[in-house]
Every structure is written in C-alpha cells, then in structure tokens.
Homo-oligomer: A and B are copies of this chain.
C-alpha cells in the first residue's frame, strides 16, 4: 500500500493508531497521555460541535462557562461521586514559579495554595455550587445550560481520542422542579445523541440504561448509546444521567415551589467527548485509510486535474471554477488540489487516506469528451460520467454515500447481536465472533463482576426496548426477567 498502515486483520489496534497518525488527525504530545489534535482532526471535531450545538440550542439550552479548577473540599461533599471520580485527577498545589538564579525555572515553595485545586474531571460539583446562587423559586427553573470544555482524568493507559488524560467534551447540566421533568430531559438528550450518532456520524447505536454498577457516580439512572466497532468491541458513545436530588442535597440547592414549600432541585447531566472521533474512525474506516460520512467530512469533494500543458490546465481550471461555484452554493465543501509539487497518483492516495467521500479527476481527454472520472471512497468504485449535470449528481451521491456508510455499519451491527442461553455459548461468541451478546442475567453486580473478570466483557446496557421475559441467568442459574447486552468494550 505504501501508506504505512497496518491492516485491520493483522493488528486492529495498530491499524487504528497508524490511521490516526497518518491521516493527520492527532498525535501524542510531550505531556504524558495528552494529545495534540491536528488541524484535519480538529476540523472534524468542529463539525461535530456545530451540529450538536445547534441541536442543544433548538432544545432550549444555552452555553455558559465554569471554572477549570474545583476546590478539593467539593469532592468530599457528594459521597457516591467521590468514589467514582476523585481518584486520578491533576492536583494544583502551587501558584508561582521562580528563577533559581542559574536560569532554571523551579517551583516557588513559598507560593503554596491554602487548599489544593483539582483540574475538573467533570463539573457537577462546581456547577451545583454555583446554581445555589441562581435558584430561589420555581420561576428560576428549569436551568438548561451546556458547557464546551476541556477536562482531565489522569488515565494510566491512554489511546488517542479513546482515552486521554485531557480531552474535549460538552457537559450539559440542567436543574428542574420535578423528578418527571428531569427524567424527561435526560431522555430527550439521549434522543439528541442517538439521532446525531445515526444521522451524522452514520454510526448505529443501541439506546439503553446502564446497570447499577456501570452507572455514572452520583446518578440514579444513566442512559447510554452503545456503538459497535469493526473488531466486534462496543464503544459507549454518549451518556445522559438522571441525578435525582443528590447534587442539590450535597450543595444545598433548594427552591420555593408554587405551593410555597422549600424543596431540593432535580438534576441531569449529559455529555459526549472527543471519544466520538475514535468511534467514527473505528466504525467505518478501512485498510486504505479513513472513510468519512459526507456530513462530517471537512472536504466533501476533492478535484484533481491531470494535465501536461498550461493550456490544458487553464481549460480544466475554468471548468472546476464553475463546478466549485455551483457546489459551494449548495453548502458543499470542495478542494481543488492543483499543487504542482505532487503527481496525481500521490494525491489520489492522500485523499483516500484522509477519507474524502468523492474524488473528481479531470484530464485533457476528459475535457475533449465532456466527461470526468468520479471515484467514491466508500465503495472504492470509479465511473466516467458526463460533465453535464455533474453538480446535481454529486449532491445526490453525497446523500447516497451517507446512507450507504450507515447501512453497512447497521448490517454489521445487526449481524453481531447474538442471543445466547448458556455461559459456554456466551464465551464462545465473545471469543469467536464478538459483538453484543444478549442473555439472561440475575441482575446483581456480583455476577457482572465475575463475568468481567472471567471474560473481560461488561454489561453494556439494558436496552430501552427491553422485553419482560422469564428466564434463567446463564451465569448463576438464578431467575431473570429479561435479556441484557454484554460485550467487550473500549
């Protein structure tokens, strides 16, 4: 191939790393576990942000910004939250550096903070401490706020996009007068996420609830969307939490109800992160490079001219200029790659690697014949087509490609949900096929723990379309009321 990308069959994990690096998406930095998101990778993330942000605003939310730092004492306030998060965090202890006189910069030990500050791993605590000042009466509710921010969790084993010490995300934090309203909000945001995953990322997801042991620290209920990667491992692509009154109680946030009573406020939080970049890459890409759904591709169409003389080039330029104008008017992003430092073959390989959905190649003979060569990234097929009507054809093809990428992922996913009725079968499917395994389970964290230790599979979710069905836990033989999904997961 010459691109230096390991094939998926040879080493899926290495294929992923190669792709992220070679396609110029991200790289590791000089700081352990922290990544640099390169311009091409960031452009995809910006598309994700723009589309999600629009949906958040359409559903009534506003953005705001809360501090990067959280006083250490805040983590002691919400007991269940403590155990879940306050472990691997970056701790700020000093606020000054000084020159040691030999040109070296050292920490000024005289400038020690009275109370250590934690770099936010998530912002529930600082936000609920702030909401106390914003809420007096039911008239101040609901508060529907989102934040785009960086967060830090000191992960020991990191992978670009999938698990990094610092990552980018959005975190919605809402406050409500009633439990029902908060639950409805948490569910609404799960809808927003699943629609985004399927329509924009072209990644089919299973909507469900987490079991107790997989819930977010401090949540009464965690809703999740679970995607499936090409290696048969699941990836949690977004979560939305019903937090009950836990944070309101921890931070003393009360409101006066219509009836004049003092009550604690109900909460939700919900988030997706740059992890979605990992899901996008692993769901669709192939051994030749990235495959990007048109709705997220920073460049949707690349045009490569093939010419020998300046006159031929001028001819092609004029045609491309018209095509470009037509496509831009329809909101389609086009790159005309007329660099004279690289040959067409090099350009073809580069844009294939970067996942541009459509490639148009035009040579002197094409100009004579009134044709172009049109190549699809998703199917790796080429066609010679008429120049007449090319703009409209491209617009239609981009939709077709978006659909095709989704359908391909959906078929793969659907063929990787396997119902099993014994532990033997469970292990056999996990080892030989992967994907989601649907089985009866006794509902206890102890059994989940044992299964995880023995097979590395975790319960992914209780699907929202869960059907009551009498059965027997395949691990313990105890009674079960329905099937849940297990999988190995990222």
Chain A interface residue count, CB cutoff 8 Å, equals 68
Give bound CA distance, A341 to B141, whole Å: 14
> Are B39 and A130 neighbours in the complex by a CB distance under 8 Å?
no
Say if the beta carbon of A145 comes within 8 Å of chain B.
yes
> Are B118 and A97 neighbours in the complex by a CB distance under 8 Å?
yes
> Are B91 and A93 neighbours in the complex by a CB distance under 8 Å?
yes
Q: Given A92-B119, A145-B39, verify A34-B64 contact (CB < 8 Å).
A: no
> Are B90 and A117 neighbours in the complex by a CB distance under 8 Å?
yes
Stretch at the interface among A66-74, A194-202, A265-273: A66-74
Residues of B within 8 A of A62 (CB): 39, 42-43
Residues of B within 8 A of A116 (CB): 107
> Are B66 and A36 neighbours in the complex by a CB distance under 8 Å?
yes
Nearest CB on B from A441, distance (A): 30
Residues of B within 8 A of A34 (CB): 67-69
Say if the beta carbon of A99 comes within 8 Å of chain B.
yes
Residues of B within 8 A of A154 (CB): 95-96
Residues of B within 8 A of A74 (CB): 30
Stretch at the interface among A80-88, A229-237, A319-327, A447-455: A80-88
> Are B71 and A30 neighbours in the complex by a CB distance under 8 Å?
yes
Residues of B within 8 A of A27 (CB): 130, 133
Say if the beta carbon of A260 comes within 8 Å of chain B.
no
Say if the beta carbon of A396 comes within 8 Å of chain B.
no
Residues of B within 8 A of A97 (CB): 72, 75, 86-87, 89, 91, 118
Say if the beta carbon of A380 comes within 8 Å of chain B.
no
Partner of A37, one of B64, B82, B118: B64
Complex copy number for this chain = 2
Which residue of B is nearest A100, CB measured? B76
Among A37, A83, A98, the one with the most B-chain Cβ atoms within 10 Å of its Cβ is A37
> Are B105 and A75 neighbours in the complex by a CB distance under 8 Å?
yes
Partner of A76, one of B96, B104, B107: B104
Binary contact track A12-53/B, C-beta < 8 Å → 1, others 0: 000000000000000101110011111100110110000000
Partner of A94, one of B29, B43, B91, B105: B91
Residues of B within 8 A of A7 (CB): none
Among A27, A68, A99, A152, the one with the most B-chain Cβ atoms within 10 Å of its Cβ is A68
Nearest CB on B from A298, distance (A): 9
Partner of A68, one of B71, B83, B91, B166: B166
Say if the beta carbon of A379 comes within 8 Å of chain B.
no
> Are A98 and B94 neighbours in the complex by a CB distance under 8 Å?
no
Give bound CA distance, A97 to B72, whole Å: 9
Say if the beta carbon of A213 comes within 8 Å of chain B.
no
> Are A63 and B39 neighbours in the complex by a CB distance under 8 Å?
yes
Nearest CB on B from A384, distance (A): 32
> Are B95 and A76 neighbours in the complex by a CB distance under 8 Å?
no
> Are B89 and A90 neighbours in the complex by a CB distance under 8 Å?
no
Q: Given A31-B117, A76-B104, A126-B29, verify A64-B82 contact (CB < 8 Å).
A: no
Partner of A103, one of B79, B126, B129, B150: B79
Residues of B within 8 A of A42 (CB): 62-65
Could you list some 20 contacts between A and B, CB below 8 A? Answer: A30-B67, A31-B71, A31-B126, A34-B69, A35-B67, A36-B66, A39-B145, A42-B64, A68-B119, A68-B150, A75-B105, A87-B98, A88-B95, A90-B94, A90-B117, A91-B93, A91-B94, A91-B107, A149-B150, A150-B150
With contacts A30-B74, A79-B103 known, what are 15 further pairs, Cβ within 8 A?
Answer: A27-B130, A29-B66, A29-B126, A31-B70, A36-B67, A37-B65, A42-B64, A69-B90, A82-B105, A90-B95, A90-B117, A91-B92, A91-B97, A92-B92, A93-B94
Give the 7 A-B residue pairs with the shortest CB-CB distance, closest first.
Answer: A39-B62, A34-B67, A37-B65, A91-B94, A95-B154, A75-B105, A93-B93
